Amino acid sequence: MKYKRILLKLSGEALMGDRQYGIDPSRLAEYADEIKEIHDKGVEIAIVIGGGNIFRGVAGASNGMDRVQGDYMGMLATIINGMALQGALEDKGMLTRLQTALKIEAIAEPYIKRRAVRHLEKGRIVIFGAGTGNPYFTTDTAAVLRGVEIHADVILKGTRVDGIYTSDPEKDPTATKFDYISFEDVLKKGLNVMDTTAFTLSQENKLPILVFDMNKKGNLIKICEGENIGTVVNI
């Protein structure tokens, strides 16, 4: 396998499937099947999920809510998604651990870097919830931060689009896809890959980001086997 240890970043919206909000159990089961494929091949897997299918702090703030309060609500949404994914993975026979940046001992371990790494070494899938535990930081930033801390080989960002394009391919039919692009070129061209904090953290720590379509069956295993899927951002 090309990658020994990965950090998989999923958006909360991805869990909605065709619904308007919430969690689609069939989509969860599909993701669990994809993750099981690479787990069975010996890949060590850590996961960060967003909470946009339940609540988004920025959206709350735009409607007059206190931003800090809204962000904490968003963190709790990521824990709900983490619990849902944990259940789906365990239904397929995988061992998991949910670690959160906010202490909720009844349902999850507090995030401890050494413990997370030990779980990965033992073949358990580790799901990181509650982002970084701080308001004003996105789950993209949490994904890169955790990826750096656990010494992941790559950040795999699963989206609805099959890579990075010159412009939004859903709006611009003339948009062309990059197979490979440097961090510097992403910034020069003003492409939207991750928020600036997350992207800069990844660049400074030389941690590559691979953007791919998570909803296409088989993509995850193909990436881990070294096939040219999606777009790689690297130094």
15 is in an annotated binding site: no
Task: Say whether 132 counts as a known binding-site residue.
Answer: yes
Query: Is 11 flagged in the annotation as binding?
Result: yes
Q: Where are the alpha helices (DSSP H) in 92-210?
A: 113-121, 139-149, 183-189, 196-204
Q: How many residues does the chain have?
A: 235
Distance CA 214, CA 228 (A): 14
Q: Is 123 labelled as part of a ligand binding site?
A: no
Containing 82, the helix (H) or strand (E) segment is helix 67-91
Q: Is 17 annotated as a binding residue?
A: no
Q: Please check if 138 is assigned to a binding site.
A: yes
136 in a known ligand binding site: yes
Is 213 labelled a binding residue?
A: no
User: What's the CA angle centered on 217, arms 21 and 203, to 5 degrees?
Assistant: 80
176 is in an annotated binding site: no
Give the pair of three-digit tokens for residue 235. Answer: 């130094």
Q: Is 139 annotated as a binding residue?
A: yes
**Residue 12 in marked binding region:** yes
For residue 173, say whether it is annotated as part of any ligand binding site. no
Report DSSP letters for 17-73, one per residue. Answer: TTSSSS--HHHHHHHHHHHHHHHHTT-EEEEEE--TTT--HHHHHHTT--HHHHHHH
- Residue 157, both tokens: 């960002």
Q: Which residue has the tokens 């590559």?
A: 208
Q: Is 135 annotated as a binding residue?
A: yes
List residues forming the annotated binding site for ATP. 9-12, 52, 56, 159, 165, 168
List residues forming the annotated binding site. 9-12, 51-52, 56, 71, 132-139, 159, 165, 168
List residues forming the annotated binding site for UMP. 51, 71, 132-139
